[in-house]
């Protein structure tokens, strides 16, 4: 598998997920990684594993990164971790 080369443009980078690749709707899972696309790329696999822990259908979703010129706020997992650190277990699903 060929690895993606990090984007060098400045911006706010996020790990994203899309349920339907034909829809433009997405959700940010991690980020922002400010001016650091390489860090966002490195966070994709962990975010995907964590998403599948929350929703087993997540194995069918599309994961990747995006860049924004404006701060979109913290990603879903960053918001959750700010409330309660993730301990590797899941006791409630997020839908």
- Helical spans, DSSP H, in the chain: 37-54, 76-83
43: nearest Cα among 72, 8, 73, 17: 17
Could you tell me the strand order of the sheet in which 62-68 lies? 27-34, 12-18, 62-68
Cα 34 to Cα 88: distance, rounded to the nearest angstrom: 26
Question: In this predicted structure, what is the pLDDT of residue 4?
Answer: 85
74: nearest Cα among 6, 27, 17, 39: 27
Residues β-bridged to residue 68: 12
13: nearest Cα among 3, 21, 29: 29
Question: In this predicted structure, what is the pLDDT of residue 93?
Answer: 46
Using the structure block, give the residue that is written with the tokens 């339907």.
20
10-residue mean pLDDT series, the chain (95 residues): 85 96 91 98 97 94 96 96 68 46
């Amino acid at each position: 598998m060929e690895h993606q080369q990090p984007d060098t443009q400045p911006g706010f980078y996020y790990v994203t997920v899309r349920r339907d690749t034909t829809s433009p709707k997405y959700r940010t899972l991690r980020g922002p990684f400010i001016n650091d696309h390489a860090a966002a790329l490195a966070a994709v696999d962990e975010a995907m594993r964590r998403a599948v822990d929350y929703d087993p259908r997540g194995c069918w979703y599309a994961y990747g990164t995006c860049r924004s010129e404006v701060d979109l706020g913290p990603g879903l997992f960053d918001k959750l971790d700010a409330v309660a650190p993730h301990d590797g277990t899941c006791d409630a699903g997020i839908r």
